[in-house]
Structure 1
Amino acid sequence: MRSRFQKVMKNQKGMTLVELLAVIVILAIVTAIAVPSVGGLINKSRTDAHISNGLMIINAAKIGVAAQDDKILPSSTGTRDLKLSELVSAGYLDNIPQDPSKKGDKYNDEKSKVTITKDSNGKYNYTIVLVSSGGTEVVNADESKLNAGNAK
């Protein structure tokens, strides 16, 4: 039995060209399906990171409002735009968050802001605008939209 198996295996020289091409085609199909899916996951994770940063910055502004900090509070029934550096200097943020779109860069401090609005009922509403270091607006939404997972 063993010698018969060895004879059969001895006649096998390797894979034919057709078999090799079939394997290459299958690998190409799998790659064509997998690469766009991975790219979509990466973009979704960046969007989620922007939303998370936006919520963190809004929460920092909420702490300032709760502390009745005059540097943070809007006028009696008005609005107040806060730069990220103002939240840092007031001690409500440790530093300006990093922009997940560009490694090592932070959000643009001149254009990124939190807008705090006090309505006639005394309720505060928060809107965040985050602009990347390259000048692209990546988040522009109020708190309810961010909590729902929408960045714009």
Structure 2
Amino acid sequence: MKKTRKLLKNQKGLTLIELLAVIVILAIVAAIAVPAIGNIISNSRDKAILADASNILAGAKLAVIDGACGEADASGVITCEAGVLEDVVEGIPQDELTGASVTKNADGVWTVTYENLVNINNSEKFSVDGFVAGTDNSITEENLNEAMNQ
């Protein structure tokens, strides 16, 4: 019993070397984690832009079904302009919808034109055949689905 009390009295806490070792380990973990978190945040922003384009496309499809976009022109093309999209798309500020449009050509190919598509940072990850992320402001439905699954 006396030996145990002596051992407890001799323990005074952490040494300076132990404290420095812990600080070095924390610094190494932080140096590894910070860039990884930055990439996750950047990819989330890029995916949000693609999701907005997908929402615009879904709204335009509803508008075409309701007849809000008007009739097809002589070549079979139907276009939904920003004014119509503002009424059918929710969750995207109206100032971001300015200049947005959706076109359905005679072959049934849907194309979204959305200015924020040029704000995608990770062009290597989200570019697909026919769409260069961060450069193009128009994307087909097929390419949009492919880019969102990256």
Say yes or no: TM over 0.5: yes
Please tell me the residue identity of whatever aligns with 2:96.
N
List per-residue Cα deviations over 1:10-43 (Å, max 9, x = no partner): 1122211111111000000111111112111112
Does structure 1 retain, via aligned residues, the 8 Å contact 2:63–2:84?
Answer: no
CA deviation digits over 1:95-125, x for unaligned, max 9?
Answer: 4604xxxxxxx553433x1231423xxx332
Structure 2 stretches of 5 or more lacking a match? Answer: 121-136
Aligned with residue 102 of structure 2, among 103, 107, 115:
115
What are the equivalent positions in structure 2 for 1:1-152 lying under 5 Å apart? Answer: 2-69=1-68, 71-77=69-75, 79=77, 82-88=80-86, 91-93=87-89, 95=90, 97-98=92-93, 107-111=95-99, 113-119=100-106, 123-132=107-116, 137-138=119-120, 140-150=138-148
Matched letter for residue 20 of structure 1: L
More strand by share: 1
Alpha-carbon separation, structure 2, partners of 1:107 and 1:39: 27
| Aligned partners of 1:84 and 1:96 also within 8 Å | no
8 Å contact kept, 2:101–2:112: yes
User: When you count helix as a share of all residues, which structure comes out higher?
Assistant: 2
Q: CA RMSD in A?
A: 2.8
Give the superposition deviation at 1:73.
Answer: 4.2
Shift of 1:6: 2.3
**Greater displacement, 138-147 / 43-52:** 138-147
Matched residue, 1:101: none
Whether contact under 8 Å (1:126, 1:142) holds in the other structure is yes
Q: C-alpha distance in 2, partners of 1:146/1:48?
A: 11
1:79 Cα deviation (Å)?
A: 4.5
Structure 1: unaligned runs, 5 residues or longer: 99-105
In 1: Cα distance, 2:8 partner to 2:91 partner: 67
Is the partner of 1:141 in helix, strand or coil? strand
Give the AA of the match of 1:124: G
